[in-house]
Amino acid sequence: MRILIVEDDLEAAEAMARGLTEAGHDCVRAPDGEAGLTAARGAEFDVMIVDRMMPKMNGVQLVESLRREGDRTPVLFLSALGEVGDRVDGLQAGADDYLVKPYAFAELIARIEALARRRETGSVQTLLKVGELEMDLIARTVHRQGKEIDLQPREFQLLEFMMRHAGQSVTRTMLLEKVWHYHFDPQTNVIDVHVSRLRSKIDKGFDRPMLQTVRGAGYRLDA
């Protein structure tokens, strides 16, 4: 999952992101409400974890702004404010769940995964199919000709983006912004390395390659 963490306690945010990354998720951090709003507007996320008390814009204001704009990304509030009235205020602002600090990390994982499942179950598309390649977004599995392909989290995200844009040339800039969430070129070969690894997994041993390099443009996944 792609998760946006909006938390002004940098140490707590770093620990949370590290744990979620180890659990196989892709995390983006924002240090205050305004930065969180900018991040949420600039990319798609499966779940947002939002601290309630923050500088510049608090969590309630952030969620209210996003809901007014039509953003329905599931939001989990984290807060030291645990009274019933506080929880009700947070949920009425548009949050989907509320977890009181301090919390058990296992419970945090369970809650965000439940929010993601709820969103995916309610959506129209949970299975992507390009030719003989299939991706199950709920089970997080990939198969080609019935053979399961084991992908790392970043490889899964890369392939998901390519499948959603099948038949189109996808540029390095698009991949940096939508898969790596970079809005600048880090001047590394990170994309080439991951595309090479992904190609070896989805094409090796099959009759026809699906992941193509488009000279001067980027890459394309063809059925």
Q: Which domains does the chain have, with CATH numbers?
A: 2-121 (3.40.50.2300), 127-221 (1.10.10.10)
Q: Rounded to whole angstroms, how far apart are CA atoms 134 and 141?
A: 8
Position 124 pLDDT exceeds 60: no
Q: What is the pLDDT of residue 206?
A: 92
Q: pLDDT tens digits, residue range 96-110?
A: 888 888 888 888 888
pTM of the predicted structure, to 2 decimals: 0.54
Give me the chain's average pLDDT, please: 87
Angle at alpha carbon of residue 39, lines to 36 and 45, rounded to 5°: 105
pLDDT in tens, 12-69: 999 999 999 988 889 999 999 999 999 998 888 989 999 988 888 898 899 998 888 8
How big is the chain by its Cα radius of gyration, in Å? 19
Cβ distance 211 to 169 under 8 Å? no
Residue 161: CB partners within 8 Å, gap ≥ 6? 170, 174, 175, 178, 179
CB 53 within 8 A of CB 79: yes
